[in-house]
Structures are given as C-alpha cells and as structure tokens.
Chain A
Amino acid sequence: MAECGGVDSNTSSGHTMDKSITLPPDEIFRNLENAKRFAIDIGGSLTKLAYYSTVQHKVAKVRSFDHTAKEAACDKLYEISVQEEVTARLHFIKFENAYIETCLDFIKDHLVNTETKVIKATGGGAHKFKELIEKKLGLKVDKEDEMTCLIKGCNFVLKNIPHEAFVYAKHADSEFRFQTTNPDIFPYLLVNIGSGVSIVKVESEDKFERIGGSSIGGGTFWGLGALLTKTKRFDELLQLASKGQHTSVDMLVKDIYGGSYGCLGLTGDLIASSFGKSATADKEFSKEDMAKSLLHMISNDIGQLACLYAKLHNLSRVYFGGFFIRGHPVTMHTITYSINFFTKGEVQALFLRHEGYLGAIGAFLKGAEEDNPNQYSWGENYAGSSGLMSVSPEMNPMQRARSGTFPFDMLEMDRLERQLVNLPLLQDPSSYIPDTVDLTEDAPAREYWLYCFEDALDGVVKRALASQPDMPEAAVRAEKFRQKYLHKLQTLRHQPFAYGSLTVRSLLDTREHCLNEFNFPDPYSKIKERENDVALRYYQKAVKALEELSCEDRQFALVRGVLAGNVFDWGAKAVSDVLESDPEFGFEEAKRQLEERPWLVDSYDQWLERLKGPPHKCALFFVDNSGVDIILGVMPFVRELLSRGTEVVLASNSGPALNDVTNGELQILTERIAAMDPVIQAGLREDRLTLVQSGSSSPCLDLSRLDKVLAMVVRERQTDLVIIEGMGRAIHTNYYAMLSCESLKMAVIKNSWLADRLGGKLFSVVFKYEVPAGRPDQDDAALTP
C-alpha cells in the first residue's frame, strides 16, 4: 500500500540546514532549461522527481558528394559534417525529502520553459508538500493514483531496461542474478511492500487488479520494531536485524520436538512460533535478536501470502517492491528465502533495479500520454544514471563525496530513434542471453577487462581529441570524458551489478554513452573515411583475384578475406600497429597473420559442404568494421552470395561506435562499389541486396533489441542464414546464441587474454557454422511468412 507519509524522517531541521547547498547543474537536474512535463513521487522519506527534456547532441553525419557534378574534383570519399541533433531524454532524480525545498528552488531558478503548467504527483507525501510545490514552482499539482503509477512505471522499466529484474542470492558469487529481458512481460504479480502490502496482478498495460494484500508490512516492521527496540529509524532497525539471532526469540520446531518433525518434512530449524520464546522466559532479549525475529516474521508472512496468491492465479513471475525492499540486501534475502521455502523453488522472488522510481515514472507517463511514450523504445543512459545501490551513503561513499552536496540518485533514459524488437530468428527469445561472459560472476575476467578498459582510456581520449582538431574546448571536454568514464569504471569495480550484469558489451556501451555525453559523437569518423577510401581503390583488384580462383578455392579465399579484414580493428589494441602501415600491404599481411587451419573453432568443411547444396533464400549479415573489413572482406563475400542467388540483407549500426561502419557510411560505400561492380549494382537494382540499420550504436550486438524494420525485412525475405562477424558481435556477444535457422559466426580473436581464455592464441580464428537441431540443411529452413 502507500508509503507512509509524514513519518519521523522529515524533521524541520532538514528544511533550514541545507539552504546553503549549491547544486552543481551539470550533475543534478541536468537539462532543466529544456525540461517540460514534470512528475513527482513523494514517499515517506524519499522524493523522486521526473521530467522530460531534450538534449542537443553533436552527431556526425556522412553525405555523399555529388560525383556527377564534379567528378574527381575532390579527393574525399564523402563529406563528414557534425550536426546538432535534438534527442529526447527522461530524467529521474531521487533524493531525501529533507532537501525538497532546496531542489524546488533550484528547479525554479533554472526552469526556462514556461509552457508547463501542471506537475503530476503521487505517493503518500504528495499532499503534504502540495502547497510548497505549487508555491515554489507555480505549477498546479495534479494527483495521480499511486498504484496505477506504480504499475505503469513497472511495465515501462520491464519493457525498456535490459537487466531490470534480478534474483537476489546472498551467498552466491554474485549477489545479483539479472534476468534477460523478455519482451512478453505479462502477466505478473507485483507485491508492493510499503506500510502494508498490496498484491497486484498485472495482465496488460491497462489491466491490473489488486487481488489481495496484508496489513503486515513495512509499517509493521517499523512500528513494532520501534516499540520493541526503541530504535526510531527504519534503516537502523534493519541494521539491528542484520546483526541479531532470531533463535533466541523464536520457538523453533526443534524447541518443540527436540529435533525435526520428520514425517511432515519440517526441519528442526524452522520457526514454529515467531516470538514464541519471548512469552516463556523472564529474561531480557537483545534489540538485535528481536529485530531479526520481527524481520523474519514479516518477510515469511509476506512471502507465504505472495506464494498463495501466485498459486491461486497461476502466476510464476513475482516482483517485489516498496520501501521495505528498496535495495536493502537484508529484506531481499529474507523475502527470497521465504519464497524459496514456500514454493520449493517453483517461484522466484524478483526485484527491480529501479524499483524506487516506479511511482515517478508512472506519474510522468500519465502526464505524457499525449506524447505516446509507450510507442518508443527507450534505453538506459549509463553515463547519466547512478546505478544500483548508490543512494545509500554507507554503500557508496564515493557518490556522496563526488556530489559534494547531498546524496542523490539519477536515472536517465534516452528515447531511441528506432523501435526495438527481437530478431524473429532467435530459437528461444526468453532464454537468449547476448553476452558470452557475465563479468558480474566471473571475478578474474572482470579484473582483466576493467583493467583493460582503464588502460585503453588514454588512447580513447587522445583519439577523441584528434577527431576535433578545430575545437579549442575539446581538450576540456575530453578531460571531462576521461573523468566520467574513469569514475564509472571505479564504480563498477566496487558494484559490478550497478547497471545489470557487467559485460564487455556494457563496458563498451558505457564508454560510447560517456563519449556522447561530452559531444564526441564519432571519434573515428575521419579514420573510417580514410580507410574506406583506400580500401575502395583495392576492391576491383581483390574481386578479380578471387574470380580467377576455382569455385572451391574461392570459397576458402572469401572466408579468409572476411577473417583477415576483421583483423583491421581500431578497437583492438593488438592491431593498431599493423594498421599504421599501408592497408593494402596490411590486408595481405593480415592474411599471413591468420591462424592456419584447423582453426580454434573450425566448421569450414561443413560450410563448404553446405555451399554445394541449394543456395540460401536470404542471408542476414551483421557487419563490423569499416575500411578493409567491410570493403575487401565482407563485400566480396556478399557478392558471392548474390551470385549464388541468395538475397542479402546487410545490417549495420544506426549510430557510430568505434570504427564500426554505420548505416549512413555503408549506403555511400555500397553505391561506390556498385559503380564498379555489376553484381552489386544488379543486387541493389533488383532489390536483392538490402541495407538496413540494426537500431544499435554498440560495437556488440543484442539480438533481442533490434530495429523493427530489420525484423520485418528478415521475416518478409524468409531469411534462412544469419552471418555474424567480428569479435564484438560473434564472441563477446552471441557466441552461444541459438538461432532457428543456419548461422555463421566468424571472428578473429584480437585479444591475447581472451584467446587464452578460449584455449587459443592471438589471431586465433573462430569459424562457427551451425544448423539448428532437427533441421537437415537440405530442408527448406526458410520462415513461412
């Protein structure tokens, strides 16, 4: 039920003492000048503020020169221009109620936009601060139903934030086990533990029902705990509980039976009667022990009720939220324990990373209905979000020290240009995990990669600076970027779970987000252009050389070409040296560097055998780097597929990431190649070669979040072959991805640590051709539309 409004936590001293605080505008309440649509959720101790704003970003755009008008007049391949682009972002800030006035003053001073008239409000404390808000902001407070907001918020985070939900396991290597995002989030049970407990069954975006509840909730723990222990604060009570021994207060099965009650399967340590011992002895009980007993009593009771309701309504997904849970390891543990006990593991207790924001998100969405926020896909911005467990000062002293003001927590979500959906060819979307290694669980790997990314930071800063030679303030921004990313790495060292499972992908994505944050949209744009230009000059020669080969030799040369091209990667440290030399020479050199067969993973023979069979209907090719990789490696391979009668869909990044070729660049490159190569030209003309964007701006690939158009094209073309190229997309991610059609994963391992891990060596080759079980390759594996 409601968070208790108006409890002890709001002392009047809080209002006066913090007047002197000056808030750093680039750290909290960012982008206020463009803010509109406010919402606020005021709970018993924390306030959550939400607003929508727009962000001006510099983006690198490529534009083809008009070659017909001034043929060869320019030595450049295409024009790169940095443009301003406006994107939408949601800001959520959480702070203690004591600072609410300071925050409102700050907002008033920085709010430029005047079209906003209303602030949506929810939470038990909303009415208490109504006047203050109306007076300070001049906005009309419009109250929204708490539970409706909660559910709306919950739906939103479950749909839009990967790794939002997690299972808590206190004694495991990693306390947090994040769940893969399942696009089908309904139905689920939400157990909200505020003062009391509400149990809500959610069946769809708009259909939910409070099917039950209990008065024994967080308020009972707090109220009864305060009476028993004379401890006033909720957090302190939890602290006490975590130190206590409940067995001195509770009557256990073994206290009655002398051991276990075997025939009913009740173990001796099971609590038979909560507080059962405190009635019999004349002794004093320690505060810690009583608090612990109380915590067990309440958690077990809630867990039991949740299980009964889940069973009655046949629901297996049960999320827990409310201030009783709110990131407290103690309560997450006891609730998890209770659920495991009562369901014998059939139901898992799930928690949410952004549980505290649900009400504010929901209230905001209520106010923004006319903008149809649910029509878009949104993504968590790692640069602007604090991550899990950063609000508690003891958990994260860094956060407090950094802000220099008061502890606050932020969540920023970017509206994505494209709507994202599952790749329709995933064998089992609900069990698909993009990432190969979960660094949250693998401590040595985490150590290595955190070190690796920190070590590479100087180089990235240098590269970013070099990409903007004409901008004098770039140095300042580059330094800010360095600090920001360094700070993120430090946070992740201590809290690897801060943004969900830590993976190489999330480390790369965080870096991209940080670069964007400081307006380094595409540090590799010029390098990419140069590489593309040089590689194009060599294209015809390469194709001619291939055509002279016998069919079987050609197939092998094509594969080697893709692999050798893939060695060209500015993202991999070991390769930079080779790249400084001449690309043409480099390409041949790279081929020589390649491991001889048998490769580390080698199913080339099966692939060759397959090629002797009927051509594929349509191949979806996720490409990787620009330059030699795309032009001399991928394109000849594509050309061969087209010649065989296979349609090809080339999927490239929507936005820049490292030296990966973007969709914009690939459009131009393909046109240029088409001008030289009738096969490619015919492919384009006859619509047998299609270029689509992936919807991603990451060097890795999440097949569960792809552009909706891509998914549509894949379905329409009856795609029966998926090719994934490169270390980021085929090794760091998707190495184990199971597809419902044939797949080919090709990559060169350009990192000696990773090579070592996989049992290979530097430049080892992964060539993984897979046919889904139960589908002979002669079979028409195409999807029926």
Chain B
Amino acid sequence: MDIGGTLVKLVYFEPVDITAEEEQEEVENLKSIRRYLTSNVAYGKTGVRDVHLELRNLTMCGRTGNLHFIRFPTQAMPLFIQMGRDKNFSSLHTMLCATGGGAYKFENDFRMMADLELLKLDELDCLIHGLLFLDRVGFNGHPECYYFQNPSDTHSCVKEPCNLENPFPMLLVNIGSGVSILAVYSENNYKRVTGTSLGGGTFLGLCCLLTGCETFEEALEMASKGDSTNVDKLVKDIYGGDYERFGLQGSTVASSFGHMMCKDKRASISKEDLARATLVTITNNIGSIARMCADNEKIERVVFVGNFLRINTLSTKLLAYAMDFWSKGQLKAVFLEHEGYFGAVGALMELLKTTEDL
C-alpha cells in the first residue's frame, strides 16, 4: 500500500492459479479477505476499487493472477487499521509493505492497534519500480502509456497509446496532494529535482473553499462545466489583443483569478467557473515548472503520474496543453493509465521480492 497525504492506494494480487491443495491449506481468514476485496467495488463509505484498472492474468513471481487497485482517503486510515485488527490480519502476515508518508506517520498505529509491522519503503523508489513494471507488462494487452495529439486544442486533441521504449532519461512529475519532480536516469538512479506545494491538494482544497464542494469528483465535475476566462484575466483583457512586444497571445492567461480583483466580476461568476479556473491555474503552473526542470536537466520526455490525474481526462488534457504551451511544442507530456498506483505496485513488488528471499 501507498499512504499519501490525501489518498491511500492499495494493490491486491489475487492468484487465479490456486491449486486445490493450496486452497485447502489456505486459512479461512484469507479467503474471507479475498472474497471481500474481489466481490465488492466499494468499501465502506469511501473506499473504491478501480475495476477499470484491474490487470488480468498477470504473472508475478511465477504466479498468475489478477491485480486489483483500491483506494480510500487517508482520513479513513484509523478505520482501516481498526478493520485490520478486527479481521486479524496479523494472523496471516506480520509484515505489511507500505510506502508514502503515511508509512511513517501510521507505523506506530499499525503496531499498537493491529499488531502489524510495516516494512517502510521509500516512495520514490516504489514509484519508479512500479511504473517501469506496469509499462513492461502493459495494460491487458494495450500499452500503459499515452499522449495527446494536438494538445494545443482541447477539443480536437486525441489520446494516442504509446510505450516507454528507452524510458531514460525521463522527468517524472508525480502529482499527488503536492508535486514531486524527479529526473530518472535508470531504474535505480534518479534525483528529486524539485517540487511544488501547488498540487492536487491545492486544487481540491481551494475548490472546497470557493465552491463548497466536498469531493474531488464533485470538483472535477464542476471544473468540466466551467469557463476559466470569466475568472482569469487574459492578455487581451489588459492589452486589448496580443502583447506583441513579447509575443504573448491575447488568449494567454495574464493573471490567474485576476478578474476577481473586481467586485462586479466577483458577483457574476459561477462555482463551475471557479473550479475550472482553479484547475487551469494548477495544471498550467505544474506544466511551467516541469518545462523549466526539463530544460535545466536537459531531458526531453516528461511523464506525469499521480492521483490528481484520475477519473477524467480534463486534467491530463490541460497538462498536455500546458506542456505544449510552455515548451512551444518542444516537449510532449506522457501519461499512464494507472495514474496514482505505481507507488503501491512498487511496494507490492518489494513485498514479493522479500518473501522470495525468504
């Protein structure tokens, strides 16, 4: 599992090649957990299994099985630990592979409440390992990666599948609550170039404050319907057209939320406009910083991952647009289907590796 600032990502490998013998040996407890996880798509009020991401008939460590992707809010962590105790997880494994900040934050709770030891793994190691693994195995016969053609036009841009052949070097932009930007030179050689606190958490946090919405889904839904130009001040709002002296097009955002300095404009905008403007602000900014980092590190491929990109294509399209804009078409933004789960997959791989070693 990968315990982030906002979401916990959990991957579960369900072996399908279980022999009768094995099934016999399997304790009841484990069966009940498997049944619980595989027969539901929602857990409690907030847990979700992303069925569309399930990887079927995957071979991991010589076993064939299905890989399930489950997420729930980090806020529900105490409940999860409670469940772990109730279901007596510790009778199965005493070791749980965990990454993300929560692996540190909740370590003590796991030990005290559920008698579980966490094997804490570095989140960036896990992220890279998981990502490279999923890219290799593909997405049920399709490529894991994709990019957008015509990113400059959000209406006509088309999603195109692709593979990360010769993936290195790549700039890996992980957008969770915050953003980390890594320059990856090989599977085990990478550095964190920089990061920004303007990430998914900022989008959701601001949307909640500005629109009263409560969930990421709601916020994105609103953003998809809004018009940010009612909120943002564009170059043409200031100069009446393009600012030719500096080659700035009139449609470029000059000031995010700039119209909101004015009382009348504040009264005339909708919640949807605000949500959209927030999304555009965040994606544009990430695009700009990513482009600068790519230039500074002299890396041409920029890969975006993280749970901020989940659910709809709006954020990915906006990021693709931002990358295209800031790099003047020089850099292509690459995305992955399993957005925010690579850390958890990486942790699982580590778990398998350690059990193998035993």
A interface residues (Cβ-Cβ under 8 A, vs B): 1-2, 4-8, 124, 145, 147-148, 194-196, 198, 210, 212, 214-220, 222-224, 226-228, 232, 234, 249-251, 253, 255-259, 261, 263-264, 271-280, 285, 290, 297, 300-301, 304-305, 308-309, 311-312, 342
State the CA gap A34–B261 with chains docked (Å).
40
| CB of A56 to closest CB in B, whole Å | 40
B204: which A residues are within 8 A, CB to CB? 279
B178 touching A4, Cβ below 8 Å: no
B209 contact from A6, A271, A275, Cβ within 8 A: A275
Give the chain B neighbours of A145 by CB distance below 8 A: 245
Assess whether A253 is in contact with B263, with CB atoms less than 8 Å apart: no
Q: List 5 A-B contacts (CB under 8 A).
A: A212-B292, A216-B281, A219-B257, A272-B197, A279-B207
Out of A195, A198, A256, A279, name the residue touching B4 (CB < 8 Å): A256
Q: Is the CB of B202 within 8 A of A258?
A: no
5 shortest interchain CB distances as A-B pairs: A223-B260, A275-B205, A273-B201, A256-B101, A276-B201
Of A219, A249, A311, the most chain B CB neighbours within 10 A belong to A219
| Residue among A215, A217, A219, A290 having the largest count of chain B Cβ atoms under 10 Å | A215
Q: Is B157 on the interface with A (CB-CB < 8 A)?
A: no
Number of interface residues of B (CB under 8 A): 66
Assembly CA distance A234 to B259 (angstroms): 14
**Given A1-B255, A228-B210: A273 touches B260 (CB 8 Å cut-off):** no
Of the candidates A196, A220, A276, A301, the one whose C-beta lies within 8 Å of that of B177 is A276
A215 pairs with B232, CB closer than 8 A:
yes
Q: Which of B144-152, B283-291, B339-347 contacts A (4 or more CB under 8 A)?
A: B283-291
Which B214-268 residues have a C-beta within 8 angstroms of A?
216, 231-233, 235, 238-239, 245-246, 248, 252-263, 266
Q: Which of B101, B216, B259 contacts A253 (CB 8 A)?
A: B101
A271 near B197: Cβ-Cβ < 8 Å = yes
* A220-B206 in contact given A258-B105, A261-B101 (Cβ < 8 Å): no
A630–chain B nearest beta-carbon distance, Å = 56
Q: Is the interface of A mostly helix, strand, loop or mixed?
A: mixed
Residues of A near B200 (CB, < 8 A) are 273
Quick check: A226 and B233 within 8 Å, CB to CB? no
Residue of A124, A147, A304 near B194 (CB, 8 A) is A304
Find chain A residues with CB under 8 A from B266 CB.
226-227
CB distance B254 to A257 under 8 Å? no
* Contact for B238 among A5, A220, A301, A309, CB less than 8 A: A5
Chain A proximity mask over B65-86: 1 for CB below 8 Å, otherwise 0: 0000000010100000000000
Q: What B residues does A312 contact at CB under 8 A? A: 292, 295-296
A275 vs B206: C-alpha distance when bound (angstroms):
6
Is B104 a contact partner of A258 (Cβ separation < 8 A)? Answer: yes
- B161 contacts the other chain (Cβ, under 8 Å)? no
Give CA–CA (A305, B266) in the complex, Å. Answer: 28
In the assembly, what is the distance between CA of A259 and CA of B104, in Å? 8
CA distance A462 to B144 in the complex (A): 89
- The interface residues of chain A lying within 8 Å CB-to-CB of B209 are 228, 275, 278, 285, 290
Q: Is there an interface contact between A274 and B292, defined as CB atoms closer than 8 Å?
A: no
- A308, B292: Cβ atoms closer than 8 Å: yes
Return A285 CB to nearest CB of chain B, in Å: 7
Given the known inter-chain contacts A214-B285, A216-B285, please indicate yes or no for A251 contacting B201, CB distance below 8 A: yes
Whether B232 contacts A8 by the Cβ 8 Å rule is no
A1 and B238 contacting across the interface, CB-CB below 8 Å: yes
Interchain nearest-CB distance for A44 vs B (Å): 8
CA distance A215 to B246 in the complex (A): 15
CB of A304 within 8 A of CB of B177, answer: no
Asked whether, in the complex, the Cβ of B281 is within 8 Å of the Cβ of A220, the reply is yes
Q: Are A297 and B238 in contact (CB under 8 A)?
A: no
* Bound CA–CA A616/B257 (angstroms): 69
Given contacts A196-B255, A215-B256, A311-B296, 14 further A-B contacts (CB under 8 A): A210-B246, A212-B292, A216-B281, A222-B260, A228-B209, A253-B101, A256-B102, A271-B178, A273-B177, A279-B204, A279-B216, A300-B196, A301-B196, A308-B292
Q: Output the residue of B194, B257, B261, B263 with the most chain A CB within 10 A.
A: B261
Contact A275 B201 (CB under 8 A): yes
State A196–B248 Cα separation when bound (angstroms): 13
Distance between Cα atoms of A290 and B205 in the complex (Å): 11
**Assembled-state Cα–Cα distance A626/B179 (Å):** 69
| Contact among A272, A278, A285 with B178 in the assembled complex (CB-CB below 8 Å) | A272
Q: Point out the residues of chain B lying under 8 angstroms from A228, CB to CB.
A: 209-210
User: Which residues of B are found within 8 Å of A218, using beta-carbon distances?
Assistant: 255
Q: How far is the CA of A669 from the CA of B43 in the complex (A)?
A: 101
Q: Which of A195, A214, A255, A263 is B288 in contact with, Cβ under 8 Å?
A: A214
| 0 or 1 for each of B161-199: is its CB under 8 Å from A? (1 = yes) | 000000000000000111000000000000010101111
CA distance A2 to B254 in the complex (A): 9
Q: How far is the CB of A560 from chain B (nearest CB, A)?
A: 64
Given A196-B258, A249-B205, A274-B205, check contact A304 B105 (CB 8 Å).
no
Q: How far is the CB of A127 from the nearest CB of chain B, in Å?
A: 9
A276-B202, A312-B295 known; A342+B194 contact, CB < 8 A: yes
Q: Are B198 and A301 in contact (CB under 8 A)?
A: yes
What's the nearest-Cβ distance from chain A to residue B181, in Å?
Answer: 11
Question: CB-nearest residue of chain A relative to B191?
Answer: A264
Contact between chains at B208 and A273 (CB < 8 Å): no
Residues of chain A within 8 A (CB-CB) of B116 are none
Closest to A271 in B: B197
Contact A297 B197 (CB under 8 A): yes
| C-alpha gap A278/B202 in the complex (Å) | 8
Q: Is the CB of A297 within 8 A of B202?
A: yes
Asked if B257 and A280 make an inter-chain contact with CB atoms under 8 angstroms apart, the answer reads no
Please determine whether A304 and B205 come into contact, CB atoms closer than 8 angstroms: no
Q: How far is the CB of A395 from chain B (nearest CB, A)?
A: 23
CB–CB A251/B232 < 8 A: no
Chain B residues with CB under 8 A of A148: 245
Q: Which residues of B contact A217 (CB under 8 A)?
A: 255-256
When C-beta atoms are compared, the residue in chain A nearest to B252 turns out to be A215
- The answer to the question of B293 belonging to the interface, with a C-beta cut-off of 8 Å to chain A, is yes
Q: Which residues of B contact A251 (CB under 8 A)?
A: 5, 177-178, 201
A186 to B259: give the CA distance in the assembly, Å. Answer: 35
Which partner residue on chain A sits nearest B295 by CB separation?
Answer: A312
Verify if B6 is at the interface (C-beta below 8 Å from A): yes
